[in-house]
A and B are shown apart, each in its own frame.
Chain A
């Protein structure tokens, strides 16, 4: 119709340089094109972008708040990266976070007074990991035993977990000291994670997320299980022929994935809230944002860490749009949405090439650009 037709073809993955260029330009274009919308409100895009970035990374306070958000996002993201590598689409991190929070709260509320102070936090972390892992293993079993689609089962189990939390905070665990509001009693001090002075960053959680990233990276690259996960992820048929036990691999996968989300839940109740509260307040959408973090980090446990900081920063820096410019909360979402959309769109350029073709019946083979030997700049053989 326009004289040209565009054909998209799959090709070899692009070079390192090109992927850097693509991600950087997607981020820059995303930030500025979202900011450009605020020209209508009378703000220059440059001011907006610099304010957001200053709000997220411009001071020690901002950095600490960004990290406080990046910790749960990172834990969830690492777990999801592992699951997605094995092509197990775990949409249930929200529920796994909540179960971790519930288990840790149970220990904090009922066992902590009877335990030595030093044992409380390790117990809470262990229980949180275990509870998240159990919640994650259930859909894994359903999938491997009965062929239940894990997207549906993990998603549905989020609602079950949320209802469980609501039941507890409105019912048996409702705190006598909370004047009838839906919160459990405040945790005793031995059940509260220590933080860097004057911040909301619990240093044990920061250590855990970094260790978790390196340990899962090691597991994926250097163990037999990691190899099997990759084989299942790349080619399930080949994995079956090679005699890899799909069930065993998937269950270990979900123990890690659910367990890490559970740990994120422990961090939230034990550091941020210091009591069990309503389900939406605990998970704060980290289970869903974690999916984006895992994708941005290219399913690489180490890559997830900067991705979590970036998204944490965007959420934290977004405050400034409201406090300094008086813009509505929705504008914060606009930023995250535009940037993520562009980042994900940018992916296409990594392993696809675009061929523009002139619609000319007489000489239908005329290829305008790029030539056959290029694939997004460089061809690998």
Chain B
């Protein structure tokens, strides 16, 4: 037995001699390739590396970034790219190194919060390369941050939810208890309260950004508890599909699509949703880099900049099946007077699309669950307050894990 085991250790030693010899032979190839390339006419090119946290086929977060990358590569002949998907937090540093050193990328986009520290360190390691970190708050001379923010749309979804719910119970399937999601839930709650002051929001946490099975389970249990409207933050259409199944069986459950156009997964259930469009952000950053004028800054884009759009399909803001009920639902607004929810939604869209942003959901008076006043009447939450928000509005029933 011992004899055999030590024999097998030798096997591995042999294998690695073999492997190293093999690789060193092939590693020789690279210099010749580089030599031929340098003889060509020099045309300025930019190579961008993209690091994704999920699979690009997740139909959510990573998918949306990937769609923009494809569009940009197709429209700019000077743009080359390399992508790496499903990168674990602990592998980010290595993948950045690989993209810079081996793939010769000029700029690397790291598209998950968990990559923040490794991106910051890489920016210090490669001072002549550019880095952009999506959703983070740490910046450097060559490290910018960018984000497409959706809370304005969750507010608009909340208006619709308030008009459509019969049970007065809204379910929210939430990925992680992070400020981004707390912000989304609160925005939904603000819209909901504006139309339907007695309706309440219940939350189920998934502790995962992408978990269709868990999302489905959470949606089912919220429906069992009496919710007839579901909103969510998770990178798959599972919640919309659950809503469609219940609606098809005769028990209407209204859903709001998240991030990608998911109406096709629930033609009778999906009312509207939030669509993200990273094109403008990526285009702006890359064009500036090409022109040599890019400066590392923070870009927090919403409706006004076109990074966030209302809807669950590319060409409709609201599923036509729900336009009538929304037109019939009317509320008394202190400023606009008697107005249908449908008209209110589009009034708010145009207000929030104005350069000066004439309306923001996070405007006081706002109280948290404990009754503490968080925003004084007329006061608007600033970006820092929204960025670190860790409290719920009083018509939310869930709690934040502490």
Contact (Cβ within 8 A) A171 B27: no
B55 to chain A: which residues have CB within 8 Å?
328-330
Contact (Cβ within 8 A) B137 A179: yes
Contact (Cβ within 8 A) B26 A50: yes
A216 contacts the other chain (Cβ, under 8 Å)?
Answer: no
Q: Give the number of chain A interface residues (Cβ < 8 Å).
A: 65
Contact (Cβ within 8 A) A323 B8: no
Could you name 9 residue pairs across A and B whose Cβ atoms are closer than 8 Å?
A16-B4, A50-B23, A65-B97, A181-B179, A277-B114, A302-B6, A306-B15, A319-B94, A328-B55
A281 to chain B: which residues have CB within 8 Å?
88-90, 114
Residues of B1-53 whose CB lies within 8 A of A = 2-16, 18-20, 22-24, 26-27, 49
Min Cβ gap B338→A in Å is: 40
The docked-state distance in angstroms from the alpha carbon of A89 to that of B85 is: 34
User: Of the candidates A24, A221, A284, A316, which one forms a contact with B15 in the assembled complex, judged by CB atoms under 8 Å apart?
Assistant: A24
B86 to chain A: which residues have CB within 8 Å?
329
Contact (Cβ within 8 A) B103 A324: yes
Whether A58 contacts B93 in the complex (CB less than 8 A), given A16-B7, A298-B4, A329-B55, comes out as no
User: Of the candidates A186, A303, A328, which one forms a contact with B5 in the assembled complex, judged by CB atoms under 8 Å apart?
Assistant: A303
A54 to chain B: which residues have CB within 8 Å?
23, 26-27
Whether A284 contacts B8 in the complex (CB less than 8 A), given A58-B23, A58-B26, A328-B56, comes out as no
Whether A61 contacts B27 in the complex (CB less than 8 A), given A277-B89, A284-B88, comes out as no
Whether A166 contacts B207 in the complex (CB less than 8 A), given A20-B14, A180-B179, comes out as yes
Contact (Cβ within 8 A) B93 A200: yes
Give me the interface of B with A, judged by CB distance under 8 Å: 2-16, 18-20, 22-24, 26-27, 49, 55-57, 82-86, 88-91, 93-95, 97-99, 101-103, 113-114, 117, 125, 137, 176-179, 182, 207, 387-390, 401-402
Contact (Cβ within 8 A) B402 A182: no
Contact (Cβ within 8 A) B9 A181: no
Contact (Cβ within 8 A) B5 A299: yes
A342 contacts the other chain (Cβ, under 8 Å)?
Answer: no
Contact (Cβ within 8 A) A323 B13: no
Among residues of A, the one whose C-beta sits closest to the C-beta of B86 is: A329
The docked-state distance in angstroms from the alpha carbon of A137 to that of B61 is: 42
A61 to chain B: which residues have CB within 8 Å?
97, 101
Whether A19 contacts B84 in the complex (CB less than 8 A), given A58-B27, A182-B178, A200-B94, comes out as no
The docked-state distance in angstroms from the alpha carbon of A268 to that of B91 is: 11
Min Cβ gap B9→A in Å is: 4
A147 contacts the other chain (Cβ, under 8 Å)?
Answer: no
Contact (Cβ within 8 A) A57 B23: yes
Given contacts A179-B387, A181-B178, list 11 more A-B pairs with CB under 8 A. Answer: A16-B10, A20-B14, A180-B178, A180-B179, A180-B389, A277-B89, A278-B207, A300-B8, A306-B16, A323-B103, A324-B103
Min Cβ gap B82→A in Å is: 5
A322 contacts the other chain (Cβ, under 8 Å)?
Answer: yes
A250 contacts the other chain (Cβ, under 8 Å)?
Answer: no
Contact (Cβ within 8 A) A53 B19: yes
User: Of the candidates B16, B24, B90, B98, which one forms a contact with A319 in the assembled complex, judged by CB atoms under 8 Å apart?
Assistant: B98
Contact (Cβ within 8 A) A180 B182: yes
Min Cβ gap A299→B in Å is: 7
Contact (Cβ within 8 A) A27 B15: yes
The docked-state distance in angstroms from the alpha carbon of A167 to that of B22 is: 47
A23 contacts the other chain (Cβ, under 8 Å)?
Answer: yes
Whether A329 contacts B4 in the complex (CB less than 8 A), given A303-B12, A306-B15, comes out as no
